[in-house]
Amino acid sequence: MHGWSTAADPARDTGWSEAPARKGFFTDGSVCIGCKACEVACKEWNGIPEDGLQMLGMSYDNTGGLGASTWRHVAFIEQPRRPVGAGSLTPLPLVAATHGQEAGGDPGSGFKPDYSASAGASSGPQDTAAGSAETGIRWLMSSDVCKHCTHAACLDVCPTGALMRTEFGTVVVQDDVCNGCGYCIPACPFGVIDRREGPAGARNVGIAQKCTLCYDRLRDGMSPACAQACPTQSIQYGDLDELRARANHRVEELHAAGVADARLYGADPDDGIGGAGAFFLLLDEPEVYGLPPDPVVTTRDLPAMWRTAAIAGATLLAGAAAAFVKARS
């Protein structure tokens, strides 16, 4: 699709000779109940500090998004229920999360629910998503996490080698190596990784932090804390191949039940990141959940960028030389 070679086995490609099967997450948004047990379990297991207790005023989500001290984040979308029979892929009357030209950075500024748009819509096949027919609202919930990309931009651009590929095919920051240059942060196409802020000297302040897919637990043969805590099995952990098969089956099941919106995100090894190690089942377009619709690893264009830099450097050198031709006055 992007003409980008796919690496089926990132661990082995990185030089792990004895690598177990690639591990990952399948997060099934169709059964998420928004309880945030994953967020809590992640914080507890990984000893992540509190990073704000403010009310965001936009939905039941007061976490906001992934960051240095939020490695699981449950997105919570309240949207008008679409009329039954509406084409599944036509744009939703998404008043709640749709912004005009001038929409800026103020979270929640565009949140003006227009319940009348869908008033009277009766319960339809989308009933698997939480919500009530009386209010005309449907709730979408999904737990976001680092995608553990096959082609991980964060890892590519890291100048110290602090970001590394584990034997499980996951992407992990080595806390003792990272010097906090911050390059991985704008490199990630999903806005996952961030530098921890806080008082100097506090744990891992000043260095890049993100989900490790519980590297420590994996090495002991345990499943990650979030998957362990999830009460509905919305977060499933296992061998990536098996998870993909299971997810394909789940989508077929949902389509057969009339949930035409169900689609996988990040499960395609031919996508712009070579497929995610942590992928999702969504019930609406990715951007509704705060995910980029077509993420591409930035380093895919790096050879072209180096070529441009070479041309630029040669231009500078030639220009400088030309500036000295018959320069003595």
Partner 1 sequence: MVPPATFTSYYGRPIVKAAPWQSDIPAYLFLGGLAAGSSLLAAGADLMNLPELRRVARIGALFGAAAGSAALIHDLGRPARFLNMMRTAKPTSPMSVGTWILTTFGPLAGMAGAAEVAALLPFRIPIAGRLLDAAARPAGLLAAALAPGLASYTGVLLADTATPAWHAAHRELPLVFVGSAAAAAGGLGMVGARLSETTPARRMAVGGAVLAFTMELQMERSMGLSAETLHSGKAGRLFNASRGLSIAGAVGTVALGGRNRIAAAMSGAALLAGSVCTRFAIFEAGQASARDPRYTVIPQRERVTRS
Write out the binding residues for partner 1, residues 225-254 only, by CB under 8 A. Answer: none
Interaction with ligand SF4 in 137-176: which residues (CB under 6 A)? 146-149, 152-154, 171
> Two tokens at 62?
């007061």
Instruction: Measure Cα distances from 39 to 35, 74, 153, 193, 238 in Å.
Output: 9, 7, 25, 16, 19
Which residue's CB is nearer to ligand SF4, number 148 or number 244?
Answer: 148
CB of 42 to ligand SF4, least distance (A): 14
Q: What is the DSSP letter of 15?
A: T
Binds ligand SF4 by CB under 6 A, chosen from 190, 265, 280, 289: 190
Contact partner, 147, from ligand SF4, partner 1, none, Cβ < 5-8 Å per class = ligand SF4
Q: Is residue 1 close enough to count as binding partner 1 by CB under 8 A?
A: yes
Q: Is residue 319 close enough to count as binding partner 1 by CB under 8 A?
A: yes
Q: Report the C-alpha gap between 298 and 185 in whole angstroms.
A: 12
Is residue 8 within 8 Å of residue 262, measured between CB atoms?
A: no
Which residue's CB is nearer to ligand SF4, number 141 or number 157?
Answer: 157
For residue 1, how many other CB atoms are within 10 A of its CB? Answer: 9
Interaction with partner 1 in 51-80: which residues (CB under 8 A)? 56, 58-59, 64-65, 75, 77
Q: Is residue 218 close enough to count as binding ligand SF4 by CB under 6 A?
A: no
Q: Is residue 215 close enough to count as binding ligand SF4 by CB under 6 A?
A: no
Q: Is residue 193 close enough to count as binding ligand SF4 by CB under 6 A?
A: yes
Is residue 142 within 8 Å of residue 29, measured between CB atoms?
A: yes
Q: Is residue 258 close enough to count as binding partner 1 by CB under 8 A?
A: no
Window 13-52: contact mask with partner 1 (x via CB under 8 A) = ----------------------------------------
Which residue's CB is nearer to ligand SF4, number 154 or number 235?
Answer: 154
Interaction with partner 1 in 152-181: which residues (CB under 8 A)? 153, 156-162, 177-181
> Two tokens at 310?
């070479």
Q: Report the C-alpha gap between 213 and 11 in whole angstroms.
A: 14
Q: Is residue 71 close enough to count as binding ligand SF4 by CB under 6 A?
A: no
> Could you tell me which residues are beta bridge partners of residue 173?
163
Angle at 157 between CA 190 and CA 9, to 5 degrees: 75
Q: Is residue 192 close enough to count as binding ligand SF4 by CB under 6 A?
A: yes
Largest Cα separation within the chain, whole Å, is 87
CB of 153 to ligand SF4, least distance (A): 5
CB of 238 to partner 1, least distance (A): 28
Angle at 296 between CA 223 and CA 277, to 5 degrees: 10
Is residue 291 within 8 Å of residue 190, measured between CB atoms?
A: yes
Number of residues in contact with partner 1, rule: CB under 8 A?
93
Instruction: Measure Cα distances from 74 to 92, 200, 241, 244, 262 in Å.
Output: 21, 29, 25, 21, 18
For residue 56, how many other CB atoms are within 10 A of its CB? Answer: 15
Q: Is residue 68 close enough to count as binding ligand SF4 by CB under 6 A?
A: no
Q: Reduce the DSSP state of residue 154 to 3 states and report it.
A: helix
Which residue's CB is nearer to ligand SF4, number 37 or number 171?
Answer: 171
Residues of this chain that bind ligand SF4 (CB under 6 A): 146-149, 152-154, 171, 188, 190, 192-193, 210
